[in-house]
Amino acid sequence: MTQNLEYIRVAECLYRNLKSSTYYVFVKRSGKQIRRSLKTKDRKLAERKLAEFRKQINRVYNSSGEDKNITFSELSDRWLKISNNGHKAKTDERRRTSINQLVAYFGILPIRSISLNQCEDWQIKRGSNISASTFNKERDALVGVLDIGVRDGILLDNPAQNLKRRKLPKNQIIIPNKSQYDQLVKTLIEGGTITKNATDLVELLATSGMRLGEATSIKWIDVDFEKKLFTVTGGVTGTKNNEARTVPLFPAMESLLNRIIQSYDAIESNSRIIKIDNAKKALITACKNAQLPHFTHHCMRHYFVSNAIEKGIDFKTIASWIGHKDGGILVAKTYGHLRDLHSQEMAKLM
């Protein structure tokens, strides 16, 4: 091998970069020269990493197993079976959708032939036509499949790791103010029996801070009126973080539940409080009739958080109520401006 002026040979296949003092491995396999940084300046550690790397490269280039010529489509099925274990149905469905898109491009290619150029070509052709969120999901699935290839000795390294995730645009949060919320509920109530369940759902979301799936799955047995507590389980699919949480029974929510109880002749403890799965159509119609912005189910969760902030509740407490596990970091990041605006309004009273 011709000596590169940037490197000095210190042992067989082991070189040191003269500028950075970082150790590199230079090897040749199947007529292809491979150079990898060992990411260390320590000679002893470099020698150990070199030994591991040589084992890995021999495993890849000397492989004669049944997986040697496995295609992307075949390996993606294996990745789905591994990654889908224990996840929610929506997550599994989302990953399957990403894989279907990737198979359309990489499907019949042998895993060992997939290069960085091909990954970048996919990024250019596919990435320009999809949202950042969709691109990131498909990119992560691609990385996941090729990681299996590295693990099984089919690939030396994962070329998709070089593809950067795209920055997600910051979604604009639409939060109804008190007047808008009251008008929305009034309009829903005017719908009578047709929109009663929708009205109950909207009010429950706004007075509890629950997500839609949590609110539609909560049962009467989950509410302890004596201890003033309710438990959010998420029902069959569970909560977003797969952990149930116990939350104080807020006065407005308690008042709503008592009104719902009075509207029935009898209540079964194991029955759902809300009888519908969503109020999407009723919300669209009510917002249109009341000439309000297009408020969604999640806007009611935002409304709950904004009310809590205006009452002076700290971010950590709010986070525990709505099921965030980060101690209030996301709440502060998402709603911090509301606290500042409320503080300015309060300052005017001085």
Give the DSSP per-residue string, 227-293. Answer: TTEEEE--TTT--TTS--EEEE--HHHHHHHHHHHHTSS---TTSBSS-SS--HHHHHHHHHHTT--
Cβ(146)–Cβ(114) below 8 Å = yes
Q: Which of 11-25, 55-69, 73-87, 102-116 has the lowest mean pLDDT?
A: 55-69
- The full set of domain ranges for the chain reads 7-61, 72-162, 178-348
Dihedral sign (CA 21, 23, 24, 26): positive
Cβ(228)–Cβ(323) below 8 Å = no
* Mean pLDDT, residues 184-189: 96
Indicate the DSSP class of residue 227: T
* Mean pLDDT, residues 151-175: 86
C-alpha angle 333-339-342 in degrees, rounded to nearest 5: 155
Share of the chain above pLDDT 90, in %: 56
How would residue 1 be classed by pLDDT, with cut points 50, 70 and 90? very low
**CA 146 and chain centroid, separation:** 21
- Winning range, highest mean pLDDT, from 8-12, 115-119, 340-344: 115-119
Cβ(287)–Cβ(293) below 8 Å = yes
**CA 303 and chain centroid, separation:** 22
Q: Which of 79-88, 160-169, 250-259 has the lowest mean pLDDT?
A: 79-88
Per-state percent for the chain, helix, strand, coil, to nearest 5? 55, 10, 35
The residues near 282 (Cβ < 8 Å, ≥ 6 apart) are 188, 191, 195, 198, 199, 202
Which residue is listed with tokens 């970091």? 329
Tokens in use for 176?
A: 């109804």
Cβ(338)–Cβ(306) below 8 Å = yes
- Give the pLDDT of residue 161: 92
Domain 178-348 CATH class label: mainly alpha
* Mean pLDDT, residues 339-346: 71
**CA 60 and chain centroid, separation:** 33
Q: How far apart are CA 154 and CA 147, in angstroms?
A: 10
pTM (predicted TM-score):
0.66
Indicate the DSSP class of residue 183: H
Phi, psi of 287 (to 5 degrees): -65, -40
Q: How far apart are CA 174 and CA 19, in angstroms?
A: 53
* Mean pLDDT, residues 15-43: 83
- Give the pLDDT of residue 29: 67
- Give the pLDDT of residue 53: 79
For 230-285, the pLDDT digits (tens) are: 999 998 888 888 889 999 999 999 999 999 999 888 889 899 999 999 999 999 99
Q: How far apart are CA 15 and CA 86, in angstroms?
A: 45
- Winning range, highest mean pLDDT, from 44-53, 75-84, 281-290, 303-312: 281-290
Domain 72-162 CATH class label: mainly alpha
Q: How far apart are CA 208 and CA 301, in angstroms?
A: 8
Indicate the average pLDDT of the chain: 88
Tokens in use for 303?
A: 């409304």
- Give the pLDDT of residue 2: 47
